[in-house]
Structure 1
Amino acid sequence: MSFVHLHTHTEYSLLDGSNKIKSYVKKCLDLGMTAAAITDHGNMYGVTKFYDECMAQGLKPIIGCEVYV
């Protein structure tokens, strides 16, 4: 059975995140995950970098955004 974090903030979540995208993707692979998600607060600035890094490393990217309505 595999596990995937579905609520993850990166350096692009200015007040919440500190994960660097490249190291986050590498850590997911090291832990045997087959996919990874990005759900930054109120922006999607890191999505293209995240997507490109996941595809280059063979990890399925899951794209999201945490927004307040």
Structure 2
Amino acid sequence: MNPIKSAGYITTRQVCERLGISRSTLERYVKTKGFPKPLKLSATSTNRYPIDAVLAWEHSIINQAF
């Protein structure tokens, strides 16, 4: 996983690269695995994910594994 700062937002592409998954898998994670929903920060922007929420989700998944 790539290190990221714990403030701000990351794109769908960055989330997929970080997790090693496709966009369709990410959409499935949002619907079925409690992954944070993306935000649209302006009318012309692409979806963004709050970094804090992504990190919290990662930690919860890791904790479930143990």
TM over 0.5: no
Q: TM-score, normalised by structure 2?
A: 0.29
Q: TM-score, normalised by structure 1?
A: 0.28
Choose between structure 1 and 2: higher helix proportion: 2
Choose between structure 1 and 2: higher strand proportion: 1
